[in-house]
Structure 1
Amino acid sequence: MASVRRALQSGLNIPLIKRNPNENLNMELSIPTHFRCPISLELMKDPVTASTGITYDRQSIETWIELGNQTCPVTNQALKSQDLIPNHSLRRMIQDWCVANRSSGIERIPTPRIPATPTQVSELLSEIALSSREGDRRRCRELVAKIKALGMESERNRLCIASCGSGRILSNSFRELARGSTVNSTTGVMEEILSAVVGLFPLDSEAHRHIGAPESLEAIVSILKTGDLGGKLNAVLVLKELVASVDAEQINVVAETDGLIEALVKLVEKPISPQTTKASLVATFYLVSSSERTAERFVEMGLVSLLLEILVDWEKSMYEKALGVLDGVLDYKRGREMAYDHSLTVPVLVKKMFRVSDMATGFAVSALWKLCMNYKKEGGDRAGEGFLVEALEVGAFQKLLLLLQVGCNGTTKEKASELLKLLNGSRERVECIETADFKGLKRPF
């Protein structure tokens, strides 16, 4: 048994008896031998019986099995089954013993929850699949709520549920309910399904196929527009998971869903929670990076102006994501044209080069680089040196020089060096101002 304990030592947190802080520390209390786990030799909190008839504490024997052992630690017999049967009688005896010894500082062990089993989960999933095919929305919602509650009880349960293919089955049920019926009649159960699916990330390719089906995407857009706060959050989280996992061609199919781009922009424009806004920005990042057509649709919805407002007034945690989306939009001519025409573009990008994160610095330098390298062809009224002068006035040269001195990654360093060379020719004719002072800038809104 000593070798068993050594084998488990790295993967097992041995439970200790909780003692009352007012107990007599000099008092010796003997734990009955049959209350001790044969592996940890500590008081069992959740006694379970293995197929060999030996009772262990659940945490100890499960850790033993997870380490790849196929035998009973006490008898060395092969475990014919890994199913563990709760020993309720022994657990009640242990609880009674704890109560009887309360004066010695022993706390009663709580009644443990029985963990979910693959058989139990599979049966629930089969019922969910059947009820969704039959269009029984009420029954489907009850079953999804039940499986979601199981997953929230413990990480062990969540992993068990995920391993049974729940992501595929739940996403297919979402698709089944979205097909051939009005979304308004199924919104409640579909929001419940999305909530359960979020707890099963990452999804596999089959689940992505179900969620990415036209009928599923239409339902997601409807929830983004009319769902409650939780429904909108789960819908955009599922959308983010989808576009972050599929190729550009599939992303373009997603982007063509009627009303999807408008719904995402509205969530950024009129935020309902920080988490929803962040997820919307990440989903938008993948969408604008997929094609020029998609990026232009976002730009026409006023995305550039919204992003610049975020970078001026919102919380710091949003900056990195907003800069990433802005940098993606500036890959395309229409995005750059909108940026040239906005008075906040240059001062915001220069200001955000520091004090956010290395990634944010990279996005800010990249965005400024794209604008400066294309300004002569696309700058309109700012053609010539106008755009460069503006960048110099808000301290771009000094910030870039400092950035090279403190260090940055290869791509950012390369673009910063090119920007310095480009700006250097106009330095003598420019008086710099503090980039933090936006009050003197005329906003177009």
Structure 2
Amino acid sequence: MGFSWRKRLRVANEKKITPVLSWSESESESETDITIPPEFQCPISIDLMKDPVIISTGITYDRESIETWIGSGNKTCPVTNTVLTTFDQTPNHTIRKLIQSWCVEAGSSSIQRIPTPRVPLMPRDVHEICRKLSSATRRGDYEKCGEFIGKIKKLGDEGEKTRKCVTENGVGLTLCDCFEKFSGNEKLTFMLKEILYLLTWMVPIGSDGITKLASTTSFRCVAGLLRSKDDTARENAAVFMKEILSLDKMQVYAFAVENRVVEALMKLIRDSVSTRSTKSSLIAIYQMVLQKPEIASEFLEIGLVNMTVEMIVDAEMNVCENALVVLDAICETEEGREEVRKNVLVMPLLVEKIAKVSELATRSSVSVILRLCKMGNASVIEEVVHLGTFQKVLLVLQVGYGEETKEKATELLKMINSQMKLMSDCVDSLVEFKYIKKPF
């Protein structure tokens, strides 16, 4: 390792920057090659250092290069091969200033002055922001809270690394606390929208944070934003409505009914605001129907089945999966199964999606078909057979799907097998039915 890096350093001593000239410039003028001093080159990239930092072994690297090295799982100094006792990086201001001076003195169009790098955000800085924001929240000082919320937003704009530092150091819970504190004040709607926006890139924010958003005033505020005319606010509210409903608390579902969440989610899907809002809304609907089956009738009355079927027809994979999951949840109730059965497109679509989209889509499709077949109507099974379901479900048993999917497929094949006389139009010979015995 040491030898290879020494060799690279020797190569670096000979490295030159060749100016890139336009065709007209190359005819009229030429510049001499500029050699980068070895001490200004990063030992890893062999390029001019833009943000030189010193690590624990005393070697200076460009920050981006050494972070990439450490981020790849390496625990040693690239030059000395010494095991690093710490991954801390200290800015080498002396080298940086020398590089900046050299760039100016070089005076070449091919060399630009290296700007002073921004000091990276540290966990202690984030903790200080959290402390001050929490203090302002407790005092009810919304103006001060607004200042810190703006500061957090600016930090997020600096890039993924800064966002990660903010997310990992408790800002999410602090923002949830602030949201709960001021959620009853309609005059602060703009600030509350900003908080939800910031929280969307901190998901998952943990059960403590979601519990704060599920309080009476917070829930009412989130539901209000879900019903608003601001599409961005509606989208962000849908993300957290989904998270809130995942708490599986009866109080939450009572709030949902009280605040007309059903209509708001359906309208958000119909308006096609974004793929994310559609997925979040479908997951929220699934949670509501599954945990509180009696609420399914409200969704059915405003056209959930037909809307779900439309998404299964031509939506992208993730949306199609969620739509099928919702359809399966609807079929948990007798009223839901009756409504699904009325749609003539349902059965052909379900058969088509088997072993085509994903395992989740396949499991949901098989589950819905099975539920409909259990309604006791022989014509349903006959339709299933004529649509070629037997061959598709048999394929599910032969491919590497999960146990739950195979269990549902096996049960469905048993029902089809009980109606063997109906299958003469779908298979060449009844001899094929000997293969059905394998999964039973």
Give the TM-score category using the shorter length.
Answer: 0.7 to 0.9
Q: Report what 2:193 is aligned to.
A: 191
The alpha-carbon deviation at position 218 of structure 1 amounts to 1.0
Question: For the residues of structure 1 that align with 2:168 and 2:212, how far apart are their CA atoms?
Answer: 18
1:21/1:281 Cα in 2 relative to 1: closer, same or farther (>3 Å)? Answer: farther
1:414/1:97 Cα in 2 relative to 1: closer, same or farther (>3 Å)? Answer: farther
Q: Report what 1:310 is aligned to.
A: 311
The alpha-carbon deviation at position 343 of structure 1 amounts to 2.6
CA contact (8 A) 2:55 2:90 kept: yes
CA contact (8 A) 2:5 2:43 kept: no
Letter of the structure 1 residue corresponding to residue 155 of structure 2 = L
Q: Report what 1:240 is aligned to.
A: 242
Letter of the structure 1 residue corresponding to residue 212 of structure 2 = H
Two-structure CA RMSD over aligned residues (Å): 4.1
Match among 153, 161, 173 for residue 158 of structure 2: 153
CA contact (8 A) 1:397 1:423 kept: no
Confirm whether residue 84 of structure 1 aligns to residue 93 of structure 2.
no
Q: Report what 1:413 is aligned to.
A: 409
Question: For the residues of structure 2 that align with 1:422 and 1:101, how far apart are their CA atoms?
Answer: 87
More RCO (CA 8 Å, sep 6+): 1
1:79/1:297 Cα in 2 relative to 1: closer, same or farther (>3 Å)? Answer: same
Q: After alignment, is 151-160 or 409-418 more displaced?
A: 409-418
1:263/1:423 Cα in 2 relative to 1: closer, same or farther (>3 Å)? Answer: farther
Q: Report what 1:334 is aligned to.
A: 335
The alpha-carbon deviation at position 393 of structure 1 amounts to 4.4
- 1:228-263 per-residue CA deviation (whole Å, 9 max, x = no partner) reads 12111111122233444x356676466455222221
Question: For the residues of structure 2 that align with 1:400 and 1:79, how far apart are their CA atoms?
Answer: 57
CA contact (8 A) 2:381 2:416 kept: no
- 1:281-335 per-residue CA deviation (whole Å, 9 max, x = no partner) reads 1222233232323444433443222212222354555211100111122122221
CA contact (8 A) 2:214 2:252 kept: no
Letter of the structure 2 residue corresponding to residue 210 of structure 1 = K
The alpha-carbon deviation at position 403 of structure 1 amounts to 4.8
Q: Report what 2:292 is aligned to.
A: 291
Q: Report what 1:114 is aligned to.
A: 119
Q: How many residues get paired?
A: 405
Corresponding residue SS for 2:227? helix
Letter of the structure 1 residue corresponding to residue 129 of structure 2 = L
Confirm whether residue 396 of structure 1 aligns to residue 402 of structure 2.
no
1:363/1:44 Cα in 2 relative to 1: closer, same or farther (>3 Å)? Answer: same
1:20/1:336 Cα in 2 relative to 1: closer, same or farther (>3 Å)? Answer: farther
Letter of the structure 2 residue corresponding to residue 293 of structure 1 = E
TM-score by length of 1: 0.75
Letter of the structure 1 residue corresponding to residue 393 of structure 2 = L
TM-score by length of 2: 0.76
The alpha-carbon deviation at position 408 of structure 1 amounts to 4.4
The alpha-carbon deviation at position 18 of structure 1 amounts to 7.8
The alpha-carbon deviation at position 153 of structure 1 amounts to 1.5
After superposition, where does 1:13-412 map in structure 2 within 5 Å?
Answer: 30-37=35-42, 43-48=48-53, 56-59=61-64, 82=88, 84-85=90-91, 87=93, 90-98=95-103, 100-101=105-106, 103=108, 105-106=110-111, 108-178=113-183, 181-182=184-185, 184-244=186-246, 246-247=247-248, 252=253, 255-256=256-257, 258-373=259-374, 375-376=375-376, 384-401=377-394, 403-404=396-397, 408-409=401-402, 410-412=406-408
The alpha-carbon deviation at position 92 of structure 1 amounts to 4.4
The alpha-carbon deviation at position 345 of structure 1 amounts to 2.4
Question: For the residues of structure 2 that align with 1:304 and 1:209, how far apart are their CA atoms?
Answer: 31
Letter of the structure 2 residue corresponding to residue 165 of structure 1 = G
Question: For the residues of structure 1 that align with 2:303 and 2:390, how far apart are their CA atoms?
Answer: 29
Letter of the structure 1 residue corresponding to residue 224 of structure 2 = S
The alpha-carbon deviation at position 358 of structure 1 amounts to 2.7
1:358/1:56 Cα in 2 relative to 1: closer, same or farther (>3 Å)? Answer: closer
1:251/1:214 Cα in 2 relative to 1: closer, same or farther (>3 Å)? Answer: closer
Question: For the residues of structure 1 that align with 2:370 and 2:162, how far apart are their CA atoms?
Answer: 49
Letter of the structure 1 residue corresponding to residue 90 of structure 2 = L
The alpha-carbon deviation at position 166 of structure 1 amounts to 0.5
CA contact (8 A) 1:133 1:177 kept: no
Letter of the structure 1 residue corresponding to residue 333 of structure 2 = Y
Question: For the residues of structure 1 that align with 2:139 and 2:252, how far apart are their CA atoms?
Answer: 31
Unaligned runs of 5+ residues in structure 1 are: 7-15, 377-383, 432-445
1:413/1:111 Cα in 2 relative to 1: closer, same or farther (>3 Å)? Answer: farther
Q: After alignment, is 392-401 or 122-131 more displaced?
A: 392-401
Letter of the structure 2 residue corresponding to residue 144 of structure 1 = I
Q: Report what 1:10 is aligned to.
A: none
Corresponding residue SS for 2:291? coil
1:332/1:4 Cα in 2 relative to 1: closer, same or farther (>3 Å)? Answer: farther
Question: For the residues of structure 1 that align with 2:16 and 2:286, how far apart are their CA atoms?
Answer: 51
The alpha-carbon deviation at position 173 of structure 1 amounts to 0.6
The alpha-carbon deviation at position 175 of structure 1 amounts to 0.6
Corresponding residue SS for 1:337? helix
Corresponding residue SS for 1:146? helix
Corresponding residue SS for 1:426? helix
Letter of the structure 2 residue corresponding to residue 426 of structure 1 = L
Letter of the structure 2 residue corresponding to residue 390 of structure 1 = E
